[in-house]
A and B are shown apart, each in its own frame.
Chain A
């Protein structure tokens, strides 16, 4: 395994060739906020929270998919990036109906955590209060579109890990919406195996266990990585 040496926020970091800037930064203890990224799923670079400045590149690059290279000089927390991250979070908060006080994920929500990290104490943009439905047709789980940030983790985990591809994104732009099956009530989709992986990886309270009350959703997305590792090692040693 060859090693690449790069500089992240003034710190020299050695990283395995093929790793991403995000992985290298996290190994070195540099926190870069993410939302759509999840270890174990293919990266989509859609939330734009992990954008970093790379010297010599005019454009900001998403750390989650940018590979490390020798001599790369990365800045992850410049004032410009901080402002961008705060705006991304504000755009997400104003786009949906995120009311933490009555949310199942209150206190265990990645969106909430990111908002605290970037210092979003209020929204400078107007709230849009969209009219969005809730799907409670599945016997065990629920989907509250009001809390969905369209990170597409559920789509990817169902397709890539469970192999069921129940979820997808329909429509476009502001009309985008997660749909089950061919835009059917979730509970009527035969392909769903009721595995609950989508609920497990959902960063907010959009996908939840029925019966959970305010603040009771305790999901751990790292279980996905553990599952992936377990599958991988079984393939390695039959």
Chain B
């Protein structure tokens, strides 16, 4: 028996994995090898920039950029090996005409520690049986049959897991707060409104292993005493929506969602809510308003959603990756999880590595791994002989880490000290050709367009800041304009109502901190 796993996530599909799978299927059926070669669509296999990706079992080899025209020779080689020997350890005598076999000893693979993504790329995300075979819903069953809700919360607290959406709030503490709220009808919400430019971690998790997220949500519901939940996902994620819809249906059919789960009195129902294209709806109070059918604008906190959430009920909101960490924590224990990463930031973090980097894609590394390891070793630095100038993390709410600070460990506090944030995991590498003023202007234009318009500093301030940045870009600005940029940026940060406005000036202030020369070079001579 041989197995072919072809990445069917959005990135590889865009790079032609659909055609490759079609060609492989044709070749397999033509050779009547359907019972000997199993072809499976799977989730993200990692180095997205080299897709379409194809993995071979039992060898474990990974091929990149395979052309559909090579399907015939690959299937023929597999058939030959199956025919010749029962020993499947014999190396496959095949090389693609286009594309290559990747060296799995490369740091890109070796430096990873896959916990969230442990089954991503191994199972067919549309097949519940495959998910169950690797343990999906096993921890839910265990918890429901022997644990009290308090035990679950305690275990999460001991694990040190912090919110993976960006802010890094301790997950266990959040769960404990919601659990303590009075009322029987609480709500659990999964924030899948991933919107930072260059970020695609949550999409990959949802496309590759949706049941993992559902299981985390049901366990959370049990722990905090909720009976209903929502997954709020952005409309642009069509494939993830399709797979989630299917996963929810399958889970309901198999009794993993719904009433009286695993023969207990506990039940949990789940609805999918598709956003309408507003970045600000990733902010939790705007997200709640949107779920309620209202205009997606934030409101001041407190009261926090834990107190006053969807429909006025106590609500737990966590990010996709946070929920995806729940099952392995319960399976392996809080101590195991806490031992990974650093003291203040335990576990791993998934990053989407993009930009001026030779090898881009999805990587999961232990917290505390240095930026240099991820960008220079795993990503292999910038292409075309250029050097890395900076790394942007945290999207429009984050900032840039300059090349001389790449030894910084990836944990919440270290990044914050540099004026950026961990964020949800977007990591955009910028090489020497990058104009940092243009970068700042790009992010400001993004925030200007995505501001909900409710509060004055964000609605009108981002427009003025963008105007000043454009003026600098055009070479028409003076030192006075630069001063105004900084003053107004600080004002917008201090006074905006929600996180969007409060962090909108961050990419600009961060580039001013490390690359002031880029700005000064563009000022008019006095």
B467 touches A88 (CB 8 A): no
Binds B, one of A45-53, A98-106, A134-142, A217-225: A45-53
- Across the two chains, which residue of chain A brings its CB closest to B454? A46
B414-458 vs A, Cβ < 8 Å mask (1 yes, 0 no): 000000000000000000000000000000000011111111110
| Contact A176-B453, Cβ < 8 Å, known A51-B495, A87-B488, A91-B464 | yes
Q: Which secondary structure dominates chain B's binding surface?
A: helix
Q: Determine which of A51, A150, A169, A173 lies in contact with B462 in the assembled complex, contact meaning CB atoms within 8 Å.
A: A173
Q: How many residues of A contact B (CB 8 A)?
A: 32
Tell me whether B464 and A94 are in contact (CB under 8 A): yes
Within residues 29 to 54 of chain A, which ones have a CB less than 8 A from any CB in chain B?
Answer: 44-48, 51
Segment of A120-128, A187-195, A198-206 engaged in the interface with chain B: A120-128
Residues of A within 8 A of B494 (CB): 59-60, 84
C-alpha spacing A45/B299, complex, angstroms: 8
Q: Which of B295, B454, B457, B459 contacts A174 (CB 8 A)?
A: B459
Cα–Cα, bound, A33→B299 (Å): 20
Contact A175 B453 (CB under 8 A): yes
B308 within 8 Å of A (CB atoms):
no
Structural contact, A65 and B448, CB atoms closer than 8 A: no
| Shortest distance between the CB of B87 and any CB in chain A (Å) | 63
Chain A residues within an 8 Å CB radius of B456: 46-48, 88, 91-92, 149
- If A47-B455, A168-B295 touch, whether A91 touches B461 (CB-CB below 8 Å) is yes
A152-192 contacts to B (CB < 8 Å):
168-169, 171-176
**Looking at chain B, what size class is its interface with the partner chain?**
20 to 34
8 A Cβ contacts from B478-526 to A:
484, 488, 491, 494-497
Q: Assess the A95–B497 pair: CB atoms within 8 A.
A: no
Q: Please tell me if the beta carbons of A172 and B491 are within 8 angstroms of each other in the complex.
A: no
CA distance A189 to B300 in the complex (A): 32
Query: Contacts A48-B495, A168-B295 given: A173-B459 contact, CB under 8 Å?
Result: yes
| Complex contact A174–B460 (CB within 8 A) | yes
Inter-subunit contact A62/B295 (CB<8 Å): no
Known A48-B495, A84-B495, A91-B457; contact A173-B488, beta-carbon cutoff 8 A: no
The residue from B278, B460, B461, B463 contacting A172, defined by CB atoms under 8 A apart? B278
Chain B hits for A176, CB < 8 A: 453, 459
Complex Cα distance A48/B496, Å? 7
Contact A172 B280 (CB under 8 A): yes
Contacts of A168 in B (CB 8 A): 295
Given contacts A88-B456, A172-B451, A173-B448, contact A45 B300 (CB under 8 A): yes
> What residues of B have a CB within 8 angstroms of the CB of A60 in the complex?
494-495
Q: How many Å lie between the Cα of A168 and that of B299 in the bound state?
A: 16
Contact of A45 among B467, B488, B497 (CB under 8 A): B497
For A175, list chain B residues within 8 Å (CB).
453
Among residues 271 to 285 in chain B, which have CB atoms less than 8 Å away from a CB atom of chain A?
278, 280
In this complex, what residue of B is CB-closest to A150? B453
* CB-defined contacts of A150 to chain B, threshold 8 Å: 453, 459
Once bound together, how far apart are the Cα atoms of A168 and B453, in whole Å? 13
Q: What 1/0 mask marks residues of chain B from 241 to 273 whose CB sits below 8 Å from any chain A CB?
A: 000000000000000000000000000000000
In the complex, per-residue mask of A204-237: 1 if CB is within 8 Å of any chain B CB, else 0: 0000000000000000000000000000000000
**In the complex, what's the smallest C-beta–C-beta distance from A89 to chain B, in angstroms?**
9
- Are B300 and A62 interface neighbours, CB within 8 A? yes
Q: Look across to chain A and name the residue whose beta carbon is closest to the beta carbon of B450.
A: A173
Q: Report B167 CB to chain A, min CB distance, Å.
A: 14
Which residues on the A side are within 8 Å of B448 (C-beta)? 173-174
In the complex with contacts A60-B495, A124-B484, A174-B451 CB distance below 8 A: yes
- Assess whether B300 is in contact with A84, with CB atoms less than 8 Å apart: no
Bitwise, B307-329 to A at CB < 8 A (1) or not (0) is: 00000000000000000000000
**Pairwise interchain contact A173-B452, C-beta atoms closer than 8 A:** yes
B457 in contact with A172 (CB, 8 Å): no
Which chain A residue lies CB-closest to B447?
A173
How far apart are the CA atoms of A88 and B497 in the complex, in Å?
Answer: 13
Q: Could you say which residues of chain B place their CB within 8 Å of the CB of A59?
A: 494
Q: Which residues of A contact B451 (CB under 8 A)?
A: 172-174
* Chain B 89-124 interface mask (CB, 8 Å, partner A; 1/0): 000000000000000000000000000000000000
B484 surroundings in chain A (CB, below 8 A): 124-125
Asked if A95 and B454 sit within 8 Å, CB to CB, the answer is no
Give Cα distance in the complex from A91 to B456, angstroms.
7
CA distance A176 to B448 in the complex (A): 12
* B residues less than 8 Å from A125 (CB atoms): 464, 484, 488
Least Cβ distance of A140 to chain B in Å? 28
Is B460's CB under 8 angstroms from A126's CB?
A: no
Q: From A87, which residue of chain B is reached at the shortest CB distance?
A: B491
A88 touches B457 (CB 8 A): yes
Residue from A44, A87, A94, A175 whose CB has the most chain B CB atoms within 10 Å: A87
Query: Contact check: which of A45, A84, A95 meets B460 at CB < 8 Å?
Result: A95
* Alpha-carbon separation in the docked complex, A65 to B285 (Å): 16
- Compute how far the CA of A95 lies from the CA of B449 in the bound complex, rounded to whole angstroms: 15
Residue numbers in A under 8 Å from B295 (CB-CB): 168-169
Q: What residues of B have a CB within 8 angstroms of the CB of A174 in the complex?
A: 448, 451, 453, 459-460, 463
Contact indicator per residue, chain B 169-202, by CB within 8 Å of chain A (1) or not (0): 0000000000000000000000000000000000
Contacts of B496 in A (CB 8 A): 48
Q: Compute how far the CA of A60 lies from the CA of B494 in the bound complex, rounded to whole angstroms.
A: 7
Query: A169-B295, A173-B448, A173-B451 provided; 19 other pairs, C-beta below 8 A?
Result: A44-B299, A48-B455, A48-B456, A60-B494, A60-B495, A62-B300, A84-B491, A94-B464, A95-B463, A125-B464, A125-B488, A128-B463, A149-B456, A168-B295, A172-B280, A173-B449, A174-B460, A174-B463, A175-B453
| 6 closest Cβ pairs, A-B complex | A176-B453, A91-B460, A173-B451, A95-B460, A45-B300, A173-B453
A-B contact pairs, 21 of them (CB 8 A): A45-B299, A45-B497, A46-B455, A51-B495, A60-B495, A65-B300, A87-B457, A88-B457, A91-B456, A91-B457, A91-B461, A95-B459, A95-B463, A125-B464, A150-B459, A172-B452, A173-B451, A173-B452, A174-B448, A174-B453, A176-B453
